[in-house]
Chain A
Amino acid sequence: MKKMFVIQITALLLISGSLGGMLVFTDVYDEINTRIVSVLCLSCIKLEPKLDLEYIFDTANKENHPDFVLENLLEGVVFLHYSADACHGCDIIYSVIKDFFNVEYGKDEVFFETTLFEDSPVAYFYNNVDHTTQEMRDSYEVYDVGGQGARPMCTIVTLKYDRGIVKPYFASIYGTFGDTDEERISFLTQTMQASIELYNEFRDGYIPE
Chain B
Amino acid sequence: MKLQKKRLLSQIIFFFYANLGVLNIKTGLCFPFFYCHACPTASSACPIRAIEQSIYKGSFTWKFLLYPFLILGTIGILSGRAVCGWACPIGLLQRGTAKVARRIKNHSFAQKLGQHKIEKYLRYIKYINLIGLALVTSYFIGFMFTDICPVGFLTGTIPILVLYPGKFVPNSFFMIALIVFILFMILIFIVERGWCRYFCPVGAILAPFNKISFLHIHIDKEKCIHCNACSDICPMGINVPEMNRDPECILCGKCIKVCSKHIISYERV
Interface range for A: 35 or more
User: How far apart are the CA atoms of A25 and B27 in the complex, in Å?
Assistant: 17
Residues of chain A in range 76-108 having any CB-CB distance to chain B below 8 Å: 85-86, 88-89, 91
User: How far apart are the CA atoms of A49 and B171 in the complex, in Å?
Assistant: 9
- Which applies to chain A's interface (DSSP): helix, strand, loop or mixed? helix
Interface range for B: 35 or more
Does A31 belong to the interface (CB within 8 Å)? Answer: yes
Asked if residues B28 and A28 are in contact (CB atoms below 8 Å), the reply is: yes
Asked if residues B64 and A32 are in contact (CB atoms below 8 Å), the reply is: yes
Does B93 belong to the interface (CB within 8 Å)? Answer: no
Asked if residues A28 and B160 are in contact (CB atoms below 8 Å), the reply is: no
Residue interface bits B157-190, CB-to-A below 8 A is 1, else 0: 1001100001111111110011000000000000
Does B26 belong to the interface (CB within 8 Å)? Answer: yes
Q: What 3 pairs across the A-B complex have the smallest Cβ distances?
A: A29-B28, A44-B38, A86-B56
Does A41 belong to the interface (CB within 8 Å)? Answer: yes
Asked if residues B74 and A41 are in contact (CB atoms below 8 Å), the reply is: no
Does A45 belong to the interface (CB within 8 Å)? Answer: yes
Answer whether A12 and B77 are a contact pair too, CB < 8 Å, given A19-B71, A46-B152: yes
User: How far apart are the CA atoms of A50 and B61 in the complex, in Å?
Assistant: 31
User: How far apart are the CA atoms of A4 and B269 in the complex, in Å?
Assistant: 8
User: How far apart are the CA atoms of A42 and B230 in the complex, in Å?
Assistant: 43
Q: What is the minimal beta-carbon distance from B197 to any residue of chain A, in angstroms?
A: 23
Contacts of A37 in B (CB 8 A): 26-28, 37, 42-45
Residues of chain B in range 78-116 having any CB-CB distance to chain A below 8 Å: 78
User: How far apart are the CA atoms of A85 and B64 in the complex, in Å?
Assistant: 12
Contacts of B166 in A (CB 8 A): 50
Asked if residues B171 and A46 are in contact (CB atoms below 8 Å), the reply is: yes
Contacts of B172 in A (CB 8 A): 179
Answer whether A15 and B77 are a contact pair too, CB < 8 Å, given A29-B28, A32-B50, A47-B174: yes
Asked if residues A32 and B67 are in contact (CB atoms below 8 Å), the reply is: yes
User: How far apart are the CA atoms of A146 and B164 in the complex, in Å?
Assistant: 11
Does A18 belong to the interface (CB within 8 Å)? Answer: yes
Does B30 belong to the interface (CB within 8 Å)? Answer: yes
Q: What is the minimal beta-carbon distance from B145 to any residue of chain A, in angstroms?
A: 10
